[in-house]
Amino acid sequence: MIPAEAQQPKTVNVGPVILLGAPGAGKGTQAKAIAARYGIPQVSTGDLLRDNVLRGSELGRAAQAYMDRGELVPDALVFDMLRARLGNVDCNRGFILDGFPRNQAQAEWLDKLLRDRFFSEACWVAPIVLSFTVEYNGLLQRLTGRRSCPACGRIYNIHTQPPKVAGVCDVDGAKLVMRQDDTEDVISERLKVYEEMSLPLRQYYARQGRLVEVDGNRPQAEVTALAWHALDEHARSGEPHIC
């Protein structure tokens, strides 16, 4: 649920917003709240890839060829899709990146894109990186407790957001299901891999003074308030700019 304060977007130059956090840390929920409050788009590389493939663009056709062979889409193609998307007018005051960058090489590419004055008609506040931290047991509870309705797609959590009747969807009465990869063993391995991959990235942004740690263990509304406060302060500081 998006807080009422977000109903009227704040017309400030918030610049690029990068969200980091382990699976289950709540990045998706917070991205929606940030997008609503500041009137900036949430840009997902997964959505970009699907859109290009669906439209049959040149980049989409090239990406489809890799996927048909069971191969990963190269960073170069993803970069081209991002470069085109971030040049759209709706990104002029900022945008939210959730799921990108995933490593230091991608972060360096993004920095270069901005340093090269790709956004020549806008004056940019440098990117801010919000890292949502949730303790391990909390992540396990969130992820192992997830249940979804196969009919309408609604998501529940048996610990924090249970259905009115156990195991049954509130909307259509369908039997809720648990994803195969939401077992404790699978999740533990995913969290371990995430920590190993994300540590160098967090260190990279911390060295540049861009990293803001947000306590994701708090109630959702409090986490949103912390994120908004960090972004408001960042926008007010106006330093450094890319113009």
Split at pLDDT 50, 70, 90, the class of 124 is low
The residues with which 16 forms a beta bridge, in sequence order, are 95
Single-letter residue type at 189: E
Is residue 207 part of the annotated active site? The answer reads no
Is residue 147 part of the annotated active site? The answer reads no
CATH class of 12-40+93-143+191-242: alpha beta
Q: What is the pTM of this model?
A: 0.84
Q: Considering the chain, what percentage of its residues have pLDDT values greater than 70?
A: 90
Catalytic hit among 55, 112, 115, 179: 179
Quick one: pLDDT at residue 226? 96
How far apart, in whole angstroms, are the C-alpha atoms of residue 169 and residue 204? 43
Separation in Å, CA 24 to CA 1, 20, 95, 126, 226? 16, 11, 22, 27, 18
> Which of 108, 89, 103 lies closest to 41 in space, CA to CA?
89
With a CB cutoff of 8 Å and minimum separation 6, the contacts of 88 are none
Catalytic hit among 27, 37, 93, 142: 27
Report the pLDDT averaged over residues 126-143: 92
Quick one: pLDDT at residue 10? 66
Quick one: pLDDT at residue 243? 45
Contact 198, 133 (CB under 8 A): no
Catalytic hit among 32, 102, 154, 210: 102
pLDDT at 95 over 90: yes
pLDDT at 8 over 60: no
Is residue 146 part of the annotated active site? The answer reads yes
With a CB cutoff of 8 Å and minimum separation 6, the contacts of 241 are 123, 124, 125, 126
Is residue 190 part of the annotated active site? The answer reads yes
How far apart, in whole angstroms, are the C-alpha atoms of residue 76 and residue 67? 15
pLDDT at 155 over 90: no
B/e letters for 105-138, b = 16+ CB within 10 Å, e = fewer, are: ebbebbbebbeeeebeebebbbbbbbbbbbeeeb
> Which of 40, 3, 50 lies closest to 18 in space, CA to CA?
40
Name the CA radius of gyration of the chain, rounded.
19
pLDDT at 210 over 60: yes
> Which of 120, 127, 122 lies closest to 106 in space, CA to CA?
127
Tokens 């994300």 belong to 198
pLDDT at 135 over 90: yes
Per residue in 15-66, pLDDT tens? Answer: 899 999 999 899 988 999 999 999 999 999 999 999 999 999 999 999 999 9
